[in-house]
Amino acid sequence: MNPQILQGYGVALYTNPVASAADDDYGQFRATILHTLGFDAAEKEISGWPGYASTALHALPQLAKKLGIAALYYKDESTRFGLKSFKALGGAYAVFRLIQKNIAAQHEGHLATPEEILSGKYADIISNMTVTCATDGNHGRSVAWGAQLFGCRCVIYIHATVSEGRRAAIAFYAAEVIRIQGNYDDSVHHAAQQAAEHGWTVVSDTTYEGYRDIPIDVMHGYGVMSREIVNELRDNPPTHVLVQAGVGALAASVCATFWQVWGAKRPQFVIIEPERADCFFQSGQVGHPVVVTGDLDTVMAGLACGEVSPVAWDILKNGINCYATIADEFALEGMRVFANPHADDPKIVSGETGSTGLGLLMAAQGHPLLWNTLGLNANSRVLLIGSEGDTDPTIYKEVVGKTAQEVLA
């Protein structure tokens, strides 16, 4: 069908006119950004960290039946390293890689193992390092955790609308947390300015001119989650994957991993954003990254981003099949549906960004034009990325009416 914007019922869709065909190769250009060796290295290191365990991939057959599809899977990141978010895989891994490189520069190229770093062997080097970033909550929490785990200083910047609960969760890991005025993108620019002034290192999941390697480390770290999914589904990949987008780092990592492993069998890729922070949706229409301005206000706090990460765009511009935005109400309803499952489906604690995929399915269900544009039918097997649990317990209880502990009891 010709690409067009479809709007209504709290959802907007745009089919990508330059989406790669199913049997197109991942390609040499994309492999210069996110590659198998990078994913291999992240998997090797992170799987050896204290507390590592593969997170659950839930099957939800009763909810799938109600939605009118063949199967529904939910990758539950609410238990990841105790941080309740997939972000634990990225920011902390980038901190580890940064420390590794600093040690190598002073020890004839030796790449220290996690065990060596955790033993305190290189504390003289690590204690003099400071990492920093801007965050909506989860990424900063991961960077702070990684800094505390491996022994360096950490300064985190948050913007005006980040909740107090998310601020406290970052501070719990001994980071200095500084709130500034403005939106997320303002905090990104402020963190970069402060890092340049003080000689700190920015650990971000978005790239900009002259800053590329660390965000790519972050994205390779995220690939651990996608590889866990591949290991479970193996020769029976989903037909669709619905992935939420802020700057696009998670989405690009998922897209790259599945493209590399499943090739022509990879799922249709749908990217989801809040309707008020839709930088990918807007970029897709013009064929290049554009900046969305304003307060970007949305309950999906982790997705309140107005600027696309350039390297994520390089992966996704041909990897996305359909761009989507949803109204806040559908993400909130998704949280409640997960917490109150149908029949024997598992109980799931999903935060505001973790429920976006289900929110889109519910928004489109019963509206044939939207449903068909997404390519959904009775044979569809859909994968949702449960990016976070109750990362702000106060907000979670306000939305669901119960605490996470009460939901799972």
| Positions marked catalytic | 87, 136
CA distance 387 to 145: 17
Within 10 angstroms of residue 120's Cβ, the number of other Cβ atoms is 11
Contact 163, 137 (CB under 8 A): yes
Cα end-to-end span (Å), the chain: 47
Identify which of 303, 211, 224 has the alpha carbon closest to the alpha carbon of residue 48.
224
Identify which of 320, 348, 275, 299 has the alpha carbon closest to the alpha carbon of residue 59.
348
Identify which of 328, 324, 346 has the alpha carbon closest to the alpha carbon of residue 337.
346
Within 10 angstroms of residue 58's Cβ, the number of other Cβ atoms is 19
Q: Residue for token digits 């990016």?
A: 387
CB within 8 A of 101, min separation 6: which ones?
none
Strand 240-244 versus strand 201-202 pairing type:
unpaired
CA distance 203 to 264: 34
β-sheet bridge partners, residue 130: 153
CA distance 70 to 384: 14
Q: List Cβ<8 Å contacts ≥24 apart for 182-185.
A: 183/159, 183/294, 183/295, 183/296, 183/304, 183/306, 184/134, 184/136, 184/159, 184/296, 184/304, 184/305, 184/306, 185/291, 185/296, 185/305, 185/306, 185/307
